[in-house]
Structure 1
Amino acid sequence: MNGLWSRLRSPSKPSIRSAEAECGADQGINPLKSPDSASLSESSIRDAGPWTRGKILTLSILAFFALTLIVVAVTVPVLLVKRNRSHDDPSYHDAANRPVQVLSDFPDPGLLHVNNTWYTYGTNAAKNDSEVPHVPVATATVFNSWTRLEDHDAMPSLSSWETKINHYAPDVIQRDDGRFVLYYSGELKDWLYHHCVGVAVSNGTNPAGPFMPQSKPLACPRNQGGAIDPSPFRDVDGKLYVVYKADANSIGHGGDCNNGKKPVLAVPILLQELEADGVTPVGNPVQILQNDKSDGPLVEAPNILRTPQGIYYLFFSSHCFTSPKYNVKYAYATSLKGPYTRANRPLLKTGDFDLISPGGATVSRDGTKMVFHANCGKLRCLYAAAITIHANSTITPSSL
């Protein structure tokens, strides 16, 4: 602007040397050595100077931003990948720790170890088929090799309050008299597609049953949508408990697992103390966990373990079982009733060892082994795995 203003004020011509220098400087050429600069007309110099500088400035700015975008596009994903990898324990990248698929179509497994034999009890996965076992059973003497007891039903007869289908997430514990108690989710006849926690006691001392159900549900909070996913626990003092999920998402407002639309309902995990018979409640249930934003529409499939060091671990799943976000999480506390501190990372999630939607985990009483299900095509298959519980309360995969 200063040069243009001086031209307007004075009719005198600028010196060719000044014009040459200005033009040469704009083009990155030394004007003293340019043979063609003297042949440029005064008008072309006057017009080209300011516009050339503006164009160069504009192009420089555009080039700078383009280069910046390229650098960001290249480096940010690399940094994120490195960051994500750095948050994973090396155990997740060790093929020896890969869970073993042992059965097909066996979701929500419970787990029991008696007389050197492992037992697992699964969800009745056949939709609306009353001819399949209400509670299927599989056994193993080696933890990575399981056999389904074909056509065996651990609970062949049912109580009057439940339908003949849709029995979910059974689990078993042995009580002091040697008999076994089975906890399960039964569908209500008078409120279809909603469940309550049922309880059944074995006729003898066979962990595979048969189990005879009680006449009434053990837990049935209808104002919270009912209850599912019971898991028994015996504390160090011998007291019995059952932990389960209040099925509040079943009365939600739609969306993901019927609780993805606002207002999203609170879905609690409840702990109920029991008498020594394993079927009689003591007092009222206590809430020990609830879904938060990181859990999506729900938390479910609770299971409790106590280590010899006195730390309680609550294993659970979050998000909808139909979602790739479904996972196995855990939290820990120094008291059975909490408060529980959530771990920073799920124990298992989609992508770990190429698993898809792992969930519904149950851990052995010694805290070294685990069964869970994960998607395998259109089915949910049973997996066996090993874990290591560390002194800092983190848990990582291990080798069977």
Structure 2
Amino acid sequence: MNRPLLAAAVVAALSLGGCDGGGPPPAAEGSSMFTNPVHTADTPDPQAILVDGTWHLFHTNASGANVPVLTSPDLVTWTPAGDAFPALPAWAAPGKTWAPEVLALDPGRYVLYPTVADRASGRQCIGRATATAPGGPYVDSAAGPLVCQADLGGSIDASPFRDTDGSLYLLWKNDGNAIGQDTWLWSQRLSPDGLTLLGEPSRLLRQTEPWEGHVVEGPFLWRHDGQLFLFYAANAYDKADYAEGYALCDTPLGPCHKPPGNPILTSGNGASGPGHASMVEHDGRTWLLYHAWPAGAEGSIAPGRQLWLDEVTWEDGRPVVHGPTSTPQRRP
């Protein structure tokens, strides 16, 4: 999730610097090892999909782009590839386009779920945009947002989920901390084309544990060995206390419960406030993509939140994140 750091004036200032490559590759080409961070430029709230052998990663606005997209052949070496969402819909104001995630449907059909500033309500709300290529350009031709709980502070951090039976769901957070209310994680069925919500939304969980502070956010669902895991970030995004945890859910609409052992990813080894993650599988291994500030630079505009990649293993039915890892590790 993002906050006023990336308001329009800041984005405009960042755009003067152009879109850099995020520093040198983290490992020499052909090497079997890599070292975090895998992208040293500002890469908040990352999510990646694999299309035709290329990873496409989307993240919160930075360097003048609404939805910056990076591409990689291996999850390690990332190259900026422009703005996936260059034109916002008429109902959205520029400068605060956060936490975009993409759902790949049939070949040649992709749906983007960005959080944008809704002009009518003055709150952050969730849109939907479509494209025929994973990197865009995505176009939102709707007259208004898909989800906008203005009375609950707004709606942010959308994440699509396809279950094993093919059914689709959308998760998000109501932005209650913007108005001094609770933050809840929500889920609702999506139509097969990913553009319409079906039925009623379900509340999954809210902040209740000391490590969560006043905020839970950045949800995503993941199935492993029949179990349904709800991953989420919690606490103040610009502090070292920000961390990643998980819950177990009976269905994509809940109920969910928080097991002991949280959080599962916390500050360390040069990564401060790690979280707002997404998960991918590659060659039988599971990986967590997440952002983290350099230690001592929490809340900074530059370098901002860098991109980290660490392996997840499953031990006794529990996800174990092997990170933050700052020493060389085997590539995906």
TM-score, length-scaled by structure 1: 0.67
* Residue among 314, 318, 324 paired with 1:393: 318
- Superposed CA offset, 1:8-52 (max 9, x none): xxxxxxxxxxxxxxxxxxxxxxxxxxxxxxxxxxxxxxxxxxxxx
CA pair 214-306 structure 1, distance change in 2 beyond 3 A: farther
- State the secondary structure of the residue aligned to 2:96: coil
Aligned twin of 2:189: 273
Contact 2:221 2:229 in 1 (8 A): yes
Deviation, structure 1 residue 177: 5.6
Given the alignment of the two structures, is residue 222 of structure 1 paired with residue 146 of structure 2, yes or no?
A: no
Deviation, structure 1 residue 297: 1.1
- State the secondary structure of the residue aligned to 2:72: strand
Given the alignment of the two structures, is residue 197 of structure 1 paired with residue 126 of structure 2, yes or no?
A: yes
Question: 5+ residue gaps in structure 2?
Answer: 1-32, 324-328
Aligned twin of 1:284: 200
Amino acid corresponding to residue 269 of structure 1 in structure 2 = L
CA pair 153-394 structure 1, distance change in 2 beyond 3 A: closer
Amino acid corresponding to residue 143 of structure 1 in structure 2 = L
CA distance in 2, matches of 1:296, 1:349: 14
CA distance in 1, matches of 2:308, 2:319: 21
CA distance in 1, matches of 2:73, 2:128: 27
Contact 1:97 1:397 in 2 (8 A): no
- State the secondary structure of the residue aligned to 1:190: coil
The percentage of aligned residue pairs carrying the same residue is 32
Contact 2:231 2:247 in 1 (8 A): yes
* Residue among 290, 293, 299 paired with 1:372: 290
Given the alignment of the two structures, is residue 250 of structure 1 paired with residue 178 of structure 2, yes or no?
A: yes
CA pair 224-124 structure 1, distance change in 2 beyond 3 A: same
- Superposed CA offset, 1:40-87 (max 9, x none): xxxxxxxxxxxxxxxxxxxxxxxxxxxxxxxxxxxxxxxxxxxxxxxx
Given the alignment of the two structures, is residue 185 of structure 1 paired with residue 115 of structure 2, yes or no?
A: yes
Contact 1:103 1:146 in 2 (8 A): no
Given the alignment of the two structures, is residue 104 of structure 1 paired with residue 41 of structure 2, yes or no?
A: yes
Aligned twin of 1:211: 138
* Residue among 64, 83, 86 paired with 1:156: 86
Aligned twin of 1:52: none
Amino acid corresponding to residue 140 of structure 1 in structure 2 = S
Deviation, structure 1 residue 97: 9.9
Deviation, structure 1 residue 363: 0.6
Deviation, structure 1 residue 365: 5.2
- Identify the structure with bigger relative contact order (alpha carbons < 8 Å, sequence gap 6+): 2
Contact 1:274 1:281 in 2 (8 A): yes
- State the secondary structure of the residue aligned to 1:212: coil
Question: 5+ residue gaps in structure 1?
Answer: 1-95, 127-131, 253-264
Contact 1:357 1:375 in 2 (8 A): yes
CA distance in 2, matches of 1:391, 1:199: 38
* Residue among 211, 227, 240 paired with 1:311: 227
Higher strand share: 2
* Residue among 95, 100, 103 paired with 1:165: 95
Given the alignment of the two structures, is residue 143 of structure 1 paired with residue 81 of structure 2, yes or no?
A: no
- Number of corresponding residues: 281
Larger radius of gyration: 1
* Residue among 56, 72, 76 paired with 1:119: 56
Amino acid corresponding to residue 198 of structure 1 in structure 2 = G
Aligned twin of 1:337: 253
Contact 1:134 1:154 in 2 (8 A): yes
- Superposed CA offset, 1:330-360 (max 9, x none): 1123432333232413221112x33101111
CA pair 98-303 structure 1, distance change in 2 beyond 3 A: farther
TM-score, length-scaled by structure 2: 0.80
Higher helix share: 1
Aligned twin of 1:91: none
User: Once superposed, what is the RMSD of the aligned Cα atoms?
Assistant: 2.0
